């Protein structure tokens, strides 16, 4: 399969993750992560219906949103883009890992596994670029 762009991604997941990033700017600091199972407990605006996978997904999104919100901008647009997109793609990988581990729909699990592979490739490209262009 040929790729027209070196930064090819699944447009649905990119749009979803970008929407979450924009929404996170308006949110307050994420709730602390609790190591124990939270099934059946109220957590923010999400009430678990007993799915540990759903709670893990929610907590993963909150953790990544906090990391992105706390990221210091360098003042170099290219570097900031690479850093933010790397974090954005890592959030996609982390969410996809939860789906791959906990999902029950084979179509979604298959899509999650594809996202892990493709977005990890993009993360590696951003990492390489950041190493070649250290902050000034």
pLDDT, position 24:
42
pLDDT at 51: 73
Give the pLDDT of residue 54: 87
Strand partners, 47: 42
Taking the mean position of all CA atoms in its chain, how far away is CA 83? 13
Task: Please indicate, yes or no, whether the overall pTM of this predicted structure exceeds 0.75.
Answer: no
pLDDT along the chain (136 residues), means of 10: 42 45 38 36 48 87 91 94 95 95 96 97 97 90
- Retrieve residue 102's tokens: 């906990």
Burial of 51 (0-12, 13-18, 19+ CB in 10 A): middle
Would you state the pLDDT for residue 112? 97
- CA separation for the pair 58, 64 (Å, rounded): 10
């Amino acid at each position: 399969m040929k790729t027209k762009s070196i930064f090819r991604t699944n447009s649905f997941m990119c749009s979803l993750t970008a929407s979450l990033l924009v929404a996170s700017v308006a949110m307050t600091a994420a709730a602390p992560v609790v190591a124990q199972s939270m099934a059946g407990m109220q957590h923010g605006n999400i009430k678990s219906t007993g799915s540990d996978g759903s709670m893990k997904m929610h907590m993963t999104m909150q953790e990544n949103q906090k990391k992105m919100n706390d990221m210091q901008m360098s003042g170099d647009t290219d570097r900031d883009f690479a850093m933010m997109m790397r974090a954005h793609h890592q959030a996609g990988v982390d969410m996809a890992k939860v789906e791959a581990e906990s999902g029950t729909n084979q179509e979604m699990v298959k899509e999650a596994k594809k996202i892990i592979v493709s977005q990890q490739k993009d993360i590696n490209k951003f990492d390489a670029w950041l190493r070649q262009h250290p902050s000034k």
